[in-house]
Amino acid sequence: MKTIGFGPAALPLCLLLAGAAACGGSAPDARYPAREDGCPVRTYPGSPTIPVDDLGTVRVECRSAAGGACERRLLDQVCSRGGDVAWGMADNALTSATLVAHAAHSKRATRGPRERGCKVQVFTDAPPMKTENIGSVTAFCSEDDSRETCLRELEDQVCLLGGDVLWQVDGPTPEATSNGTGQRMHGRAAHTR
CB 139 within 8 A of CB 96: no
- Of 188, 82, 190, residue with least CA distance to 138: 188
Question: Same domain, yes or no, for 152 and 180?
Answer: yes
Paired with 166 in beta bridges are 122, 189
| Structural domain contains residue 5 | no
Residues above pLDDT 90, as percent of the chain: 35
| Structural domain contains residue 22 | no
| Cα(17)–Cα(60) distance, integer angstroms | 21
CATH number at residue 70: 3.30.110
CATH number at residue 174: 3.30.110.70
| Structural domain contains residue 154 | yes
| Structural domain contains residue 14 | no
Paired with 80 in beta bridges are none
61, 82, 106 - which closes a domain: 106
| Structural domain contains residue 9 | no
CA quadruple 149, 175, 167, 53: dihedral sign: positive
* C-alpha of 85 from chain center: 12
The mean pLDDT of 79-85, rounded to a whole number, is 91
The mean pLDDT of 56-83, rounded to a whole number, is 85
| Structural domain contains residue 177 | yes
User: How sure is the predictor about 178, in pLDDT bands with cuts at 50, 70 and 90?
Assistant: low
Supply the range of the domain harboring residue 145.
121-192
- Of 20, 37, 27, residue with least CA distance to 74: 37
| Structural domain contains residue 19 | no
Question: Same domain, yes or no, for 125 and 165?
Answer: yes
User: How sure is the predictor about 8, in pLDDT bands with cuts at 50, 70 and 90?
Assistant: very low
The mean pLDDT of 42-69, rounded to a whole number, is 83
Q: Which pLDDT value is given to residue 14?
A: 39
Let me know how long the chain is: 193
Question: Same domain, yes or no, for 99 and 168?
Answer: no
| Structural domain contains residue 114 | no
Q: Which H, E and C letters describe 94-155, residue by residue? A: CCCCEEEEEEEEECCCCCCCCCCCCCCEEECCCCCCCEEEEEEEEEEEECCCCHHHHHHHHH
82, 106, 130 - which closes a domain: 106
Count of domains observed in the chain: 2
The pLDDT tens digits for 88-119 are 988 887 777 888 999 998 876 666 788 999 99
Question: Same domain, yes or no, for 102 and 128?
Answer: no
* C-alpha of 138 from chain center: 17
Question: Same domain, yes or no, for 88 and 36?
Answer: yes
| Cα(36)–Cα(64) distance, integer angstroms | 23
User: How sure is the predictor about 137, in pLDDT bands with cuts at 50, 70 and 90?
Assistant: confident
79, 106, 133 - which closes a domain: 106
7 vs 134, more confident: 134
Give me the phi and psi of 98, to 5 degrees please.
Answer: -130, 125
Question: Same domain, yes or no, for 102 and 140?
Answer: no
Q: Which pLDDT value is given to residue 51?
A: 83
Question: Same domain, yes or no, for 137 and 74?
Answer: no
Beta-sheet strand order (sheet of 165-177): 121-123, 165-177, 180-192, 131-142
CB 83 within 8 A of CB 32: yes
